[in-house]
């Protein structure tokens, strides 16, 4: 056996072996594996809501000059807009049970979709590392509550690393703890997201009640004084909406990875839309808790880690340390669920689509974890302000992807998808376009991105001077980049239609297309490499095969 053959994804004897086009994780989900109910989807977005990062989102809005009630309103509108996009973006997964990377082939073509998928893989790796570091800091708080002397460990790291040795110990402990959770199947992930949502909501609510019940007065965080007025206030308010939407753009982009497991399409629709309420509640909890503790600690502690450390330092009794430990552990559970479901699972799904013969979701998850460690996330979070600005502004490159796929799925394809052709090459697929790339999607993406580049550069490097108009359009980027890409994709799709797609759309109804999808899913030959050119299979298999022997594999 060649080395490549030994490394192939294992499969059950009764299944056809995976090919370089499809494997068990990449194929559409059969009915037996569709087990996610409305409660699971609500819990999924609860996991995204009740975590450390979303709790302190209010800080970024107050920092740009909004007061507390303006921040409340901006986050409410931003989360509602984002939830609406989540629902419509999930339709290919809900109705055709395909993952995000496969759904991108509808608009981008087989080869063009690789560009989109690589973007998502990059984000998965970076955010897995960053969220692991955040989880490590919360683990450090747990360890500190049990053994306060952990802070007495001599400093052995240079200050340039942006961390202390006790924090690094917490990171290593957290990283090891989360590795077994990467083995969880989608069915088992249901329990993880449900648990994390429950404990996340409880710990944030208890912190809020404690802060308000034990304070002398609210701090200046809840002042009605606004640093801005008139037109500047309006633009910053819109920017607050954009910041809120961009906080979950990465998750929105890969929503089909989860939607394809829905027990029924309806179970993943309204439940995902109302998911904006937990996200908004977390923002409200964060702002009020910081306001309630501001006078007590003499500063605004927007970091949950710093808040819990300050609580312990202010009254280091056994009871306080126990309370801090339980609070930190609850946040740790939320962080673990967020990282496993939101980053490693999406990264694993994306990687398995690129190389399905050698990578399945589980292997992809561990690759995401390894690469997330290699990037040294402590440097990114602790020592690189530019990195935080870049990642926050990266939405200008992601929102156009959403605009394009929604234009194609709902209006150009009229919700009629020939799913089997998403797994075929060249002349056998109506989604092959030109050399596997749809130039219309490329143009639409560029139009959605380019007007926002000057504002993006100004955010990343404030020394770069740009016009007020460039800043203003950037403040709207979560909306404008989506709408521009949507409009251009639609116009080019109507102006330059694909004949084979028009013929298919005219020949079937939506129900027909979905029935064809079910028949394809239930086909015993779904994993057969029937469309792999002989010369391609030579490269991937590492040995020469006849067309007949390849089909018999």
Q: Is residue 274 part of a domain?
A: yes
Task: Classify residue 532 by its DSSP letter.
Answer: -
Helices (H) and strands (E) in the chain, counts: 30, 0
Is it the case that residue 509 has pLDDT exceeding 90? yes
Spatial contact of 109 and 103, defined as CB atoms under 8 Å apart: no
- CA dist 415 and 411 (Å) reads 8
Is it the case that residue 356 has pLDDT exceeding 50? yes
Strand partners, 262: 36
Q: Which burial class, exposed, middle or buried, applies to 181 when counting CB atoms under 10 A from its CB (0-12, 13-18, 19+)?
A: middle
Joined together, the tokens standing for residue 153 give 């460990």
**Model pLDDT for residues 435-448, shown as the tens digit of each residue:** 999 999 999 999 99
Joined together, the tokens standing for residue 314 give 């202010």
Q: Is residue 386 part of a domain?
A: no
The domain containing residue 286 runs over which residues? 20-381
Identify the residue whose tokens are 């052995």: 156
- CA dist 103 and 120 (Å) reads 13
Supply φ then ψ for residue 486, to 5 degrees. -60, -50
Q: Where are the alpha helices (DSSP H) in 15-164?
A: 38-49, 52-55, 57-63, 68-89, 91-96, 100-108, 112-146
**Which 3 state secondary structure label does DSSP give 437?**
strand
The mean-pLDDT minimum among 156-160, 306-310, 379-383 falls in: 379-383
pLDDT recorded at residue 179: 93
CA quadruple 84, 89, 91, 97: dihedral, nearest 10: -140
Non-local CB neighbours of 118 within 8 Å, separated by 6+ positions: none
Residue 229: pLDDT band with limits 50, 70, 90? low
pLDDT recorded at residue 381: 66
Q: Which burial class, exposed, middle or buried, applies to 3 when counting CB atoms under 10 A from its CB (0-12, 13-18, 19+)?
A: exposed
- CA dist 369 and 343 (Å) reads 9
More confident residue, 386 or 334: 334
Non-local CB neighbours of 393 within 8 Å, separated by 6+ positions: 246, 456, 459, 460, 474, 477
Averaged pLDDT, 51-79: 86
pLDDT recorded at residue 472: 87
Is it the case that residue 14 has pLDDT exceeding 70? no
Joined together, the tokens standing for residue 266 give 């309806």
Non-local CB neighbours of 90 within 8 Å, separated by 6+ positions: 255, 256, 258, 259, 268, 269, 272
Residue 153: pLDDT band with limits 50, 70, 90? confident
The mean-pLDDT minimum among 126-135, 229-238, 541-550 falls in: 541-550
Averaged pLDDT, 16-33: 87
Q: Is residue 463 part of a domain?
A: no
- Nearest residue to 270 via CA among 97, 403, 90, 28: 90
**Model pLDDT for residues 235-270, shown as the tens digit of each residue:** 888 888 988 888 888 888 889 999 999 999 999 999
Q: What's the whole-number average pLDDT of the chain?
A: 86
Choose from 102-106, 152-156, 213-217 the range with maximum mean pLDDT: 102-106
**Model pLDDT for residues 458-476, shown as the tens digit of each residue:** 877 777 888 888 888 988 8
Is it the case that residue 156 has pLDDT exceeding 90? no
pLDDT recorded at residue 475: 87
Q: Is residue 549 part of a domain?
A: no
Residue 374: pLDDT band with limits 50, 70, 90? confident
In the chain, the number of structural domains is 1
Q: Is residue 327 part of a domain?
A: yes
Q: Is residue 489 part of a domain?
A: no
Joined together, the tokens standing for residue 433 give 């376009």
Percent of the chain with pLDDT over 90: 57
Joined together, the tokens standing for residue 328 give 């930190």
Spatial contact of 363 and 23, defined as CB atoms under 8 Å apart: no
Is it the case that residue 307 has pLDDT exceeding 90? yes
Joined together, the tokens standing for residue 114 give 């690789």
Averaged pLDDT, 366-394: 71
Q: For helices 477-495 and 439-449, what crossing angle results, to 10°?
A: 150
Identify the CATH number of the domain in which residue 207 sits. 1.10.4160.10
Q: Is residue 429 part of a domain?
A: no
- CA dist 163 and 383 (Å) reads 9
- CA dist 224 and 259 (Å) reads 41
> Residue 9: which region, alpha, beta or left (left: phi > 0; alpha: psi -120 to 50)?
beta
pLDDT recorded at residue 389: 58
pLDDT recorded at residue 303: 86
- CA dist 23 and 361 (Å) reads 10
pLDDT recorded at residue 426: 82
Q: Is residue 480 part of a domain?
A: no
**Model pLDDT for residues 84-136, shown as the tens digit of each residue:** 999 999 999 999 999 999 999 999 999 999 999 999 999 899 889 989 999 99
C-alpha 423 chain-centroid distance: 24
CA distances from 190 to 40, 53, 92, 340, 553 (A): 6, 22, 21, 12, 35
More confident residue, 382 or 494: 494
- CA dist 159 and 383 (Å) reads 10
**Which 3 state secondary structure label does DSSP give 425?**
coil
Joined together, the tokens standing for residue 366 give 């561990």
pLDDT recorded at residue 549: 32
């Amino acid at each position: 056996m060649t080395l490549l053959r030994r490394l192939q994804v294992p499969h059950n004897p009764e299944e056809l072996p995976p090919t370089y086009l499809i494997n068990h994780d990449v194929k559409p989900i059969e009915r037996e594996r569709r087990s996610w109910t409305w409660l699971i989807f609500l819990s999924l977005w609860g996991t995204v809501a009740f975590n450390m990062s979303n709790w302190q989102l209010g800080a970024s809005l107050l920092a740009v000059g909004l007061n507390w009630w303006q921040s409340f309103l901006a986050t409410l509108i931003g989360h509602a807009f984002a939830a609406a996009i989540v629902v419509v973006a999930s339709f290919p997964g809900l109705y055709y049970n395909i993952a995000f990377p496969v759904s991108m082939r509808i608009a981008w073509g087989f080869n063009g979709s690789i560009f989109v998928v690589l973007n998502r893989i990059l984000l998965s790796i970076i955010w897995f590392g960053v969220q692991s570091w955040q989880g490590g800091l919360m683990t450090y708080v747990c360890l500190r509550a049990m053994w306060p002397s952990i802070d007495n460990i001599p400093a052995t790291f240079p200050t340039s690393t942006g961390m202390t040795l006790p924090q690094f110990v917490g990171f290593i402990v957290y990283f090891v703890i989360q590795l077994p959770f990467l083995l969880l199947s989608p069915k088992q992930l249901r329990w993880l997201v449900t648990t994390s949502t429950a404990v996340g909501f409880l710990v944030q609510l208890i912190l809020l009640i404690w802060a308000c019940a034990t304070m002398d007065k609210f701090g200046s965080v809840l002042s009605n004084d606004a640093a801005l007025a008139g037109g500047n206030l309006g633009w910053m308010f819109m920017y607050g909406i954009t910041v809120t939407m961009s906080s979950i753009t990465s998750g929105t982009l890969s929503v089909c990875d989860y939607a394809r497991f829905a027990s029924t399409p309806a179970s993943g629709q309204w439940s995902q839309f109302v998911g904006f309420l937990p996200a908004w509640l977390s923002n409200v909890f964060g702002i009020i808790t910081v306001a309630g503790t501001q006078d007590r600690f003499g500063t605004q502690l927007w970091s949950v880690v710093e808040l819990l450390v300050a609580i312990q330092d202010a009254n280091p009794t056994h009871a306080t340390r126990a309370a801090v430990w339980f609070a930190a552990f609850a946040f740790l559970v939320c962080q673990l669920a967020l990282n496993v479901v939101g980053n490693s699972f999406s990264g694993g799904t994306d990687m398995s689509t690129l190389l399905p013969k050698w990578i399945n979701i589980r292997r992809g998850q561990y690759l995401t974890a390894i690469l997330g460690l290699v990037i040294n996330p402590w440097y990114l979070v602790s020592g690189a302000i530019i990195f935080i600005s870049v990642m926050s502004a990266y939405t200008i490159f992601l929102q156009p992807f959403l605009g394009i796929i929604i234009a194609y799925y709902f209006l150009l394809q009229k919700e009629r998808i020939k799913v089997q052709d998403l797994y075929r090459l060249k002349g056998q697929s109506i989604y092959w376009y030109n050399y596997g790339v749809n130039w219309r999607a490329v143009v639409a993406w560029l139009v959605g991105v380019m007007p926002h580049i000057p504002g993006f550069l100004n955010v990343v490097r404030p020394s770069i001077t740009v016009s007020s108009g460039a800043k203003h359009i950037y403040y709207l980027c979560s909306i404008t980049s989506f709408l521009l890409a949507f409009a251009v994709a639609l116009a080019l799709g109507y102006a330059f239609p694909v004949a084979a797609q028009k013929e298919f759309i005219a020949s079937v109804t939506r129900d027909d297309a979905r029935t064809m999808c079910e028949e394809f899913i239930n086909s015993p030959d779904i994993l057969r490499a029937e469309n792999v050119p002989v010369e391609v299979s030579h490269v991937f298999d590492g040995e020469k095969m006849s067309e007949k022997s390849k089909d018999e594999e």
